[in-house]
């Protein structure tokens, strides 16, 4: 035989050969684990649409954090679920609220774990939108910024290591940067939800955080899934305003966006493997239709291949366990 073609299979001939040419890895160090904190005592409520994920009261959160620490997961992303909601989300910027208490508890007992605070108002407003509304149900941009700044400063004061603003108001990075600097928190980085789409994949999260909009939707502030050039405009604004890291969200239907962001900026990039992406895998796995571990690892490595440095995922504990088993 005297054919001329490439012998790609040479580099796939054994496990050790495949290992030595592998280009991308999911590492324990890449993982950020989201957690929902609720008021009350001895509460660990499973979220019905997210099997294996819970709302925790502070005492039970501590037990969960011990597991996070033993798995050496480097960071958690915290969401607060207050009992009392109002039109302006007052509990978001109350220093004594449940999220701030959770931050203080974690930093006191697990000082080496990075605490990232989600900075948004939708879990705190009675109408479920990400900021106060005008008379027509439209979120007020600049009024929201003032409340977001108060929220971020309160979170930083409680000890948050990173502020992650997610409400998609224009100018939110600049406002929060100035607010943090003004309060003396110039050393606290902003991990901005720079590129956040108005996605149906957030459905289960809204059960988990009790944050579904009571009327309308978020299309007036989150991005249109049909757009990609717009993602670069959002990215550029957040860089100009002082973001230290950028989030692309959701992850899986937006790997092309992560790649474009990676190719057009040099900040660390985070993908958010969101609730709907988690629940779809869980449902199929519970039916025995897919191999959960292989599917999750394939999805996460595809995020790394697209250019992500870090991954926010509800699978973080599973992944840390699987990586440990393999080591
Ligand atoms: C807050 C926020 C949301 C998510 C993260 N932060 C909900 C939303 O924008 O509706 C979704 C996360 C997930 O689905 O896992 N604004």
Distance 106 CA to ligand 1 centre (A): 22
Note the pTM of the prediction, 2 decimals: 0.96
Identify the pLDDT of residue 216: 87
Encoded tokens for 151: 């929220």
Work out which ligand 1 atom sits closest to the CA atom of 118.
6
* pLDDT tier for residue 250 given thresholds of 50, 70 and 90: very high
* pLDDT tier for residue 210 given thresholds of 50, 70 and 90: confident
Annotated catalytic, 196? yes
CB distance 32 to ligand 1 below 6 Å: no
Identify the pLDDT of residue 3: 83
Work out which ligand 1 atom sits closest to the CA atom of 212.
10
For the chain, the domains span 25-326
Could you report the per-residue pLDDT of 251-267, keeping only the tens digit for each?
999 999 999 999 999 99
Distance 7 CA to ligand 1 centre (A): 46
Is a pLDDT exceeding 90 seen at residue 154? yes
Identify the pLDDT of residue 303: 98
Is a pLDDT exceeding 90 seen at residue 207? no
Is a pLDDT exceeding 80 seen at residue 119? yes
Superfamily of domain 25-326 in CATH is Aldolase class I (3.20.20.70)
Identify the pLDDT of residue 215: 85
Is a pLDDT exceeding 80 seen at residue 91? yes
> What is the mean pLDDT of the segment spanning 31-51?
97
Q: Residue 265 annotated as binding?
A: no
Identify the pLDDT of residue 214: 85
The SS3 of residue 312 is: strand
Identify the pLDDT of residue 2: 75
């Amino acid at each position: 035989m005297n054919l001329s073609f490439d012998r790609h299979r040479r580099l796939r001939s054994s496990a050790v050969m495949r290992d030595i040419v592998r280009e991308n890895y999911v590492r324990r160090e890449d993982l950020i684990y989201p957690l929902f904190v609720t008021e009350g005592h001895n509460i660990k409520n499973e979220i019905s649409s997210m099997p294996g994920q819970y709302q925790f009261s502070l005492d039970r959160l501590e037990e969960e954090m011990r597991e996070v620490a033993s798995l050496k997961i480097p960071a958690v992303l915290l969401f607060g679920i207050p009992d009392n909601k109002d039109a302006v989300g007052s509990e978001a910027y109350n220093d004594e609220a449940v999220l701030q208490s959770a931050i203080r508890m974690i930093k006191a007992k697990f000082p080496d774990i990075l605490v990232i605070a989600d900075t948004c108002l939708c879990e705190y407003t009675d109408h479920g939108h990400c900021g106060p509304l005008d008379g027509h149900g439209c979120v007020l941009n600049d009024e929201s910024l003032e409340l977001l700044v108060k929220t971020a400063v309160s979170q930083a004061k409680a000890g948050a290591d990173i502020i992650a603003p997610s409400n998609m108001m224009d100018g939110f990075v600049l406002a929060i940067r100035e607010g943090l600097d003004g309060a003396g928190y110039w050393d606290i980085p902003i991990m901005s939800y720079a590129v956040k789409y108005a996605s149906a994949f957030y459905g289960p999260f809204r059960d988990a955080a009790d944050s579904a909009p009571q009327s309308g939707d978020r299309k007036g502030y989150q991005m249109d899934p049909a757009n990609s050039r717009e993602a670069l405009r959002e990215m550029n604004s957040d860089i100009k305003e002082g973001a230290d890291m950028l989030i692309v969200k959701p992850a899986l239907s937006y790997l092309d966006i992560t790649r474009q962001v990676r190719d057009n900026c040099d900040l660390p990039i985070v993908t958010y493997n969101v609730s709907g992406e988690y629940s779809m895998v869980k449902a199929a796995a519970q039916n025995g239709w897919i191999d959960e571990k292989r599917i999750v690892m394939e999805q996460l490595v595809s995020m790394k291949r697209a250019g992500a440095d870090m991954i926010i995922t509800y699978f973080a504990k599973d992944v840390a366990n699987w990586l440990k088993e393999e080591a």
